[in-house]
């Protein structure tokens, strides 16, 4: 068996055997198959697709390519939550402490920003002293002690995915459903949870642009998780406009704190409550008064516990001004009256990245203070001259550089209705429409 044979087979539309797929994953992990052949195989997959059986084998082989977490020493049924990536998506910062405050353990491995999508680890590092690099034993001990930990994936977990991910990013094969599904689920399976909740974003600010594409991906993810023996549920949620109002690391932490205190944006709070309730169900826990945990301060106190346990400054909870702050704030005014009809999530994210809030390479520096805060969401009434957004920049020149781009991301019309956020719920039983 050679890589060339497997490239040819996939190029010609033939399904690969389990043995062949495991051979490719081993070759990616140990470097015995060169990048140019792996890249050719990825392009063949992008063009020809994979069967359900092939995708399952690829996922399991990738999950087994490195260390897998054993969370069995943590009492209770553990549930992992993952988002496929969006703009202003700080839901993990709300959902994880909320679920932990309800008594369900949360052992969460998260990632960093890449491209236009934000990363949970970068956001947490906006809190002075917060450590995201925890050893496995330390990670598990923390969950046992306080019920929650959020950290980065260790270097020896799913090494095959690191190889494939970098090549996909460099070869225009990121949007292949089998490759997305195997990448997401191999990491989730290696993370050791008993059940998995997925938030699949759909829209211009997501990696899949349409609801049918997102539904296809959600079905694939649920099938993979179920075939691996993990109860898996996926939601498809809207990403035509940013989630909440803040886009940018410290700005999003501030908004998460507001939401945990019961005063956050309605869309972020609503999504967080729905996902938290689903996590409780997957954990086999009794329903809890989740809104009460927000309004009563229990969820916010749990976030403070998390910050303290991982070396951060918990005073940020009471004094969010301790977060990094950009010295320049520039409003983007409306040029007409009416109703907001568009808030282009991708353009807003790219403007934020141009300010320094994102990165194109995993090792690139990031400015934790900068970003954009929306003052209006789709469907809101608009008065001419009032701000649609506020740019938070390092210098006036930086703000000027993106002002026109931010302004052009909005459109005002005579009429516009709010967009539904929750679109689909996907389980092994089928697809439930939520936007009717």
Residue 344 main-chain phi, psi, to 5 deg: -60, 110
> What are the Cα distances from residue 368, in Å, to 47, 114, 118, 302, 339?
38, 14, 11, 23, 32
83 catalytic per annotation: no
187 catalytic per annotation: yes
137 catalytic per annotation: no
> What are the Cα distances from residue 341, in Å, to 163, 222, 240, 382, 403?
41, 33, 11, 10, 19
Which helix (H) or strand (E) covers residue 328, if one does? strand 328-333
Spatial contact of 125 and 365, defined as CB atoms under 8 Å apart = no
Q: Report how far residue 177's alpha carbon sits from residue 307's, in angstroms, rounded to the nearest whole number.
A: 36
**Encoding tokens for residue 239?**
């990403």
116 catalytic per annotation: no
Considering 78, 81, 90, 168, which one is annotated as catalytic? 168
Q: Which of 254, 301, 318, 297 is nearest to 123 (CA)?
A: 254
Count of other CB atoms within 10 angstroms of residue 351? 27
The strand pair at 381-382 and 338-343 is best described as: antiparallel
Considering 89, 122, 161, 238, which one is annotated as catalytic? 161
Which helix (H) or strand (E) covers residue 388, if one does? strand 387-393
Q: Report how far residue 132's alpha carbon sits from residue 126's, in angstroms, rounded to the nearest whole number.
A: 11
Considering 78, 187, 201, 392, which one is annotated as catalytic? 187
Considering 110, 176, 182, 183, which one is annotated as catalytic? 183
Active site residues per annotation = 82, 161, 168, 183, 187
């Amino acid at each position: 068996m050679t890589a060339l044979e497997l490239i040819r087979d996939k190029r010609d539309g033939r399904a690969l055997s389990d043995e062949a797929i495991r051979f490719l994953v081993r070759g990616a992990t140990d470097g015995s198959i060169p990048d140019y052949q792996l890249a050719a195989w990825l392009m063949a997959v992008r063009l020809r697709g994979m069967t359900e059986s092939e995708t399952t084998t690829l996922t399991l082989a990738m999950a087994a390519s490195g260390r897998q977490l054993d969370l069995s020493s943590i009492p209770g049924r553990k549930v992992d939550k993952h988002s496929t990536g969006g703009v202003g998506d700080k839901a993990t910062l709300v959902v994880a402490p909320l679920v932990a405050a309800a008594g369900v353990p949360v052992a969460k491995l998260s990632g960093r920003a890449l491209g236009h999508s934000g990363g949970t680890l970068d956001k947490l590092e906006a809190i002075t002293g917060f450590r995201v690099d925890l050893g496995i034993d330390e990670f598990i001990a923390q969950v046992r002690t306080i019920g929650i930990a959020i950290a980065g994936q260790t270097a020896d977990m799913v090494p095959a995915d690191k190889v494939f991910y970098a090549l996909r990013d460099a070869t225009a094969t990121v949007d292949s459903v089998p490759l997305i599904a195997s990448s997401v689920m191999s990491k989730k399976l290696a993370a050791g949870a008993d059940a998995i909740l997925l938030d699949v974003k759909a829209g211009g600010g997501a990696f899949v642009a349409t609801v049918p594409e997102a539904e296809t991906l959600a079905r694939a993810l649920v099938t993979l998780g179920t075939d691996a023996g993990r109860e898996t549920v996926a939601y498809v949620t809207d990403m035509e406009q940013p989630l909440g109002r803040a886009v940018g690391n410290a700005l999003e932490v501030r908004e998460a704190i507001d939401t945990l205190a019961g005063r956050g944006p309605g869309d972020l709070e609503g999504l967080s409550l729905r996902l938290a309730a689903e996590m409780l169900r997957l954990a086999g826990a009794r329903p809890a008064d989740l809104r009460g945990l927000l309004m009563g301060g229990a969820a916010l106190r749990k976030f403070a516990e998390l910050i303290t346990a991982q070396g951060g400054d918990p005073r940020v909870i009471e004094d969010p001004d301790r977060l990094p702050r950009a010295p320049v704030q520039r409003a983007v005014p409306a040029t007409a009256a009416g109703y907001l009809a568009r808030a282009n999530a991708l353009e807003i994210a790219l403007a934020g990245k141009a300010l320094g809030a994102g990165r194109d390479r995993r090792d690139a520096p990031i400015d934790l203070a900068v970003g954009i805060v929306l003052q209006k969401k789709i469907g809101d009434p608009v008065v001419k001259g009032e701000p649609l957004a506020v740019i938070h920049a390092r210098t006036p020149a930086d703000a000027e550089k993106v002002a026109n781009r931010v302004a052009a991301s909005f459109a005002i019309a005579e009429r516009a209705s709010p967009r539904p956020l929750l679109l689909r719920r996907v389980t092994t039983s089928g697809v439930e429409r939520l936007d009717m």
